[in-house]
Amino acid sequence: MKQRVVIEKFFKAMARSLELEENCFLEMYGETAIMNARFNFFPPCPRPDKVIGIKPHADGSAITILLPDKDVEGLQFLKDGKWYKAPIVPDTILINLGDQMEIMSNGIYKSPVHRVVTNREKERISVATFCVPGPDKEIQPAEGLVSEARPRLYKTVTKYVELHYKYYQQGRRTIEAALI
């Protein structure tokens, strides 16, 4: 799979859906966008009620492409204080929006809080690819999404991913640091 092509198409579609110039998010992210991959292995866990695979968080990226396990559920999303299982859909990828897309969309698109739970009997494997801007690129709400009727919600941020890892260790949401 050509992930960069998928991300470019996704950024363009997101911009068009918000009635922005289609390269708006691509230009904001820059030519030096970085793709970081993480390979996840969760062995069977005799006490899944006591052990979490990955603690609740929202991604610090703009977009995360996830190739989930084809047989074992584990990804869950938080909505209205309740955890919902992400269903297994064979031969698909999951695209998750991260905090940086929430900032660029001025809060129109949300970065969902999610977690991974362990399984008592089966191992679970997944691959996540995170798309982040170059280290010195500024991320901010798109100009076309800020108006008197819809004021700017987020500050301009740089090195967001570094801040994200710090907040993640503390169990806090990084997006809150970007709020005006």
> Where do the structural domains in the chain lie, given as residue ranges?
3-178
* pLDDT tens for each residue of 48-85: 988 889 999 999 999 999 999 999 999 999 999 999 99
Checking if the pLDDT of 1 tops 70, the result is: no
Class of domain 3-178: mainly beta
* pLDDT tens for each residue of 123-161: 999 999 999 887 778 899 999 999 999 999 999 998 888
Region 157-177 average pLDDT: 86
Instruction: Round to whole Å and give the CA distance between 25 and 169.
Output: 28
User: What residues contact residue 92 under an 8 Å CB cut-off, 6+ apart?
Assistant: 68
167: confidence class by pLDDT, cuts 50, 70, 90? confident
DSSP category for residue 144: G
pLDDT of residue 33: 78
Give the number of other CB atoms < 10 A from CB of residue 164.
24
- The whole-model pTM stands at 0.90
Average of per-residue pLDDT values in the chain: 91
